[in-house]
């Protein structure tokens, strides 16, 4: 029986991943934590206020609940990180090292930590970016993710800590709001569309980014954590891929359901961030090592997002 700790559990990924983990391990075995909260989505699970910059506090929570696995999700996303680079570094890198060190000291059996497409940079080949490629991120978030990947690999090689990671694309979901990412436009656009409002997009219409629907993001984390250790050959972070689209392609797909929906393009500083990220990733290593395969494409994701958001709107 596993006892699981999730950090950053109130976030967009954390809230839905915690619910999935409660379904797998039992809600009594999933301890959810965040620096703020709790939120309604986490009801039924034990909640702890936890600042991952406080190593002692992490250690105490692990000990108190007999934790055996950690999903460390607390982080600051790309757009927000550019507003406060020093704090982003402290949270994303020092926070990760605190978690790794507590896990090492307390013999945690498995750790999950998300990296991002942001770990790549302007010199990276932008189409079908290989698993092993040039990595020269020029955002503080991207630098923190690349550094984090190296720390994970170091803890695996030096101490045998079984830490596993994926490079998430932009995540699209409707249950919990995103928190300061460059890819957030791909969620905000749906909210404008169902309200019948014009959407002002902060990316250029032809900017293509790798994206993923939340059920696939959850599937990736769960599948990677359940794979036998012998199958995990990449100890930095795995490329995973699902749906690659430009802002204009997403808008056109939404217009299939909501004719007359209008989008205006007014690029801001986030366009510069997006321009340094790949447009698509080669995820063949994840496919062959632990049988990764996304389920959702642009059509099925868009249909489901619109259906779910209309349900939320009519029932609230």
Binding site for ligand AKB (CB under 6 A): 77-78, 116-118, 141, 168, 170-171, 181-183
**Residue (69 or 183) nearer to ligand AKB, CB:** 183
CB closer to ligand AKB out of 116 and 192: 116
Q: Which of 141, 155, 174, 213 is catalytic?
A: 141
Q: At closest approach, how far in Å is the CB of 301 from ligand AKB?
A: 15
CA quadruple 289, 172, 121, 153: dihedral positive or negative?
A: negative
Question: How near is the Cβ of 168 to ligand AKB at its closest, in Å?
Answer: 6
CB of 203 to ligand AKB, least distance (A): 11
Residue 1 CA, distance from chain mean position: 26
10 Å CB burial of residue 227 (0-12, 13-18, 19+) is middle
CA distance 76 to 242: 23
Q: State phi, psi for 132 to the nearest 5 degrees.
A: -110, 110
Closest distance between ligand AKB and the C-beta of residue 114, in Å? 8
Angle at 44 between CA 38 and CA 49, to 5 degrees: 30
- Encode 140-176 in three state secondary structure: HHHHHHHHHHHHHHHHHHHHCCCEECEEECEEECCCC
SS3 assignment, position 183: coil
Which two structure tokens, joined as six digits, stand for 114?
A: 């998300």
Q: Which residue is nearest to ligand AKB (CB)?
A: 181
Least Å distance between CB 267 and ligand AKB? 15
141 is catalytic: yes
Query: For residues 256 and 261, what is the distance between their CA atoms, to the nearest angstrom?
Result: 9
Q: Which is nearer to ligand AKB, 84 or 256 (CB)?
A: 84
DSSP state letters, 102-131 = HHHHTT-SEEE--EEGGGS-TTS--SSB-S
Q: What span, in angstroms and rounded, lies between the C-alpha atoms of 255 and 311?
A: 19
Q: Which is nearer to ligand AKB, 45 or 77 (CB)?
A: 77
In the three-class reduction of DSSP (H, G, I as helix; E, B as strand; rest coil), residue 287 is classed as: helix
Q: Residue 68 or residue 183: which is nearer to ligand AKB going by CB?
A: 183
How many angstroms separate the CA atoms of 275 and 123, rounded?
11
Q: Which is nearer to ligand AKB, 61 or 215 (CB)?
A: 215
CB 190 to ligand AKB: min, Å = 15
Task: List, by residue number, the catalytic residues.
Answer: 141
């Amino acid at each position: 029986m596993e006892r699981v700790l999730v950090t950053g559990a109130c976030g967009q990924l954390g809230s839905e991943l915690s619910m999935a983990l409660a379904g797998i391990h039992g809600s009594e075995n999933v301890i959810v934590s965040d620096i703020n909260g709790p939120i309604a989505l986490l009801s039924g699970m034990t909640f702890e206020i936890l600042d991952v910059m406080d190593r002692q506090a992490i250690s105490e929570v692990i000990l108190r609940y007999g934790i055996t696995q950690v999903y460390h999700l607390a982080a600051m996303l790309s757009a927000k990180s550019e507003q406060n680079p020093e704090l982003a570094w402290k949270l994303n890198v020092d926070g990760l090292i605190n978690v790794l060190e507590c896990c090492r000291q307390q013999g945690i059996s498995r750790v999950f930590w998300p990296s991002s497409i942001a770990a790549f940079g302007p010199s990276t080949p932008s189409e079908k970016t290989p698993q092993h490629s040039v990595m020269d991120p020029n955002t503080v978030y991207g630098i923190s993710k690349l550094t984090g990947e190296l720390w994970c690999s170091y803890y695996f090689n030096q101490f045998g800590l079984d830490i596993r990671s994926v490079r998430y694309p932009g995540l699209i979901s409707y249950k919990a709001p995103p928190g300061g990412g460059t890819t957030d436009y791909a969620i905000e656009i749906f909210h404008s569309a169902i309200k019948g409002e014009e959407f002002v997009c902060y990316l250029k219409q032809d900017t293509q980014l790798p994206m993923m629907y939340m059920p696939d993001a959850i599937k990736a984390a769960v599948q990677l954590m359940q794979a036998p250790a012998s199958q995990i050959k990449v100890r930095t972070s795995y490329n995973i891929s699902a749906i690659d689209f430009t802002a204009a392609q997403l808008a056109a797909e939404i217009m299939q359901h909501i004719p007359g929906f209008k989008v205006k393009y007014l690029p801001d500083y986030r366009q510069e961030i997006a321009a340094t990220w790949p447009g698509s990733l080669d995820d063949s290593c994840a496919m062959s090592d632990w049988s990764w395969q996304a389920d959702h494409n642009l059509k099925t994701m868009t249909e489901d997002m619109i259906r779910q958001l209309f349900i939320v709107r009519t029932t609230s």
